[in-house]
Amino acid sequence: MENDMKLRLATCALMITAAFAATGANAQDKKALAFVVNGASDFWKLAEAGVKKAQEELPNYDLQFKYPEQAAAAVQQRLMDDLVAAGVSAVMVSAVDPKSSTDALNKVGAQVPLFTTDSDAPDTNRIAYIGSSNTDAGKQAGEIALKALPDGGKCIGFVGLPGADNARERIEGMKSVIAGSKVELVDVRGDDIDMTRAKRNVEDALAANPDIDCMVGFYSYNPPRIYEVLKESGKLGEITIVAFDEDPITLGGVKEGTIAATVVQQPYEWGYQGMKLMAKYLEGDKSMVPDNKLVIVPTKIIDKANVDAFEAELKARIGG
């Protein structure tokens, strides 16, 4: 009887050990997909919500959302190298400075499928880009400026990473629309996604150009910094603000009429569609990758007429 009990206990222990081993094996069998952003900004919360939604629909994958410690190409590259070394199966990245990082990005792309989002790196071996047409977004900013400044005026722009494709394309897109008009973009100042520097850039620009007519915030956090400085200096409502993205301060300014309008993207879709695209690709389904390797998620202009409906949609996606 005692021997039977010992046998049953031993068998039970073996079964428990086997169950834990199987659970561990299942966890290890999950392929990891990484979404790597270009720096710490609230803008990425929507993309993170999109990745979270994709995780619900991709239970056999481990979806990871990664922020580099600093908005620098070398820091971002180390993060991606570490992810590849840890066994990640595919990477999606908003490249900090693709022009100076071609070899480094190709190194990642030679080891795992590499996709880009937000800011493309078309000269690399990336599989596809999913995100906005930043040129079209820049053109929409130009349209806002022309409408808000019918008599013309001089604008100064502010942006995080002047070397990134998204910044360059937005600036060029805006310039193409205002070319030949009385609206000019006379300067663009970069801040390397440093919030203190972003605000100081606006303060310095205003001090050096007290008669400036318009300020353009090309990255999500730039319009709020413009708003803050103009409010503190008593110039809010006097200088036209052209914005990008959907920071709460930006949307509040659009509502009250102190910001002319904002060009918004759909980062939620980058996260959601991007993860599903990578999973399909790893499973051998390449039908979601178009011939031109560009999956464009449209941008749109948000002004006083549609800001309330847009804000309600945002809150529904990120749970308020």
Q: Determine the pLDDT at residue 21.
A: 40
Residue ranges of domains in the chain: 24-132+266-289, 134-264
User: How far apart are the two ends of the chain, measured CA to CA in Å?
Assistant: 63
Q: Report pLDDT digits (tens) over 226-237.
A: 999 999 999 999
Tell me the residue type at 110: A
Q: Determine the pLDDT at residue 28.
A: 55
User: Which residues of the chain have a pLDDT value below 70?
Assistant: 1-28, 320
CATH superfamily of 134-264: Response regulator (3.40.50.2300)
Q: Determine the pLDDT at residue 97.
A: 87
Q: Determine the pLDDT at residue 23.
A: 38
Cα–Cα nearest to 233, from 255, 254, 267, 209: 209
Strands (E), the chain: 31-36, 61-66, 90-93, 114-117, 128-131, 153-159, 183-190, 214-217, 240-244, 261-264, 294-296, 300-302
Q: Report pLDDT digits (tens) over 121-133.
A: 999 999 999 999 9
Sequence-ordered list of residues with C-beta below 8 angstroms from that of 254, at least 6 positions apart, any chain: 243, 260, 261, 262, 302, 303, 304, 307
CB 122 within 8 A of CB 171: no
CB 42 within 8 A of CB 220: yes
Rounded to whole angstroms, the Cα distance separating 6 from 119 reads: 64
Longest pairwise C-alpha distance within the chain: 100
Report the DSSP beta bridge partners of residue 243. 262
Fold: same for 24-132+266-289 and 134-264? yes
Structure tokens at 313: 């949609």
Rounded to whole angstroms, the Cα distance separating 121 from 253 reads: 33
CATH of domain 24-132+266-289: 3.40.50.2300
Structure tokens at 263: 């060009």
pTM of the model: 0.80
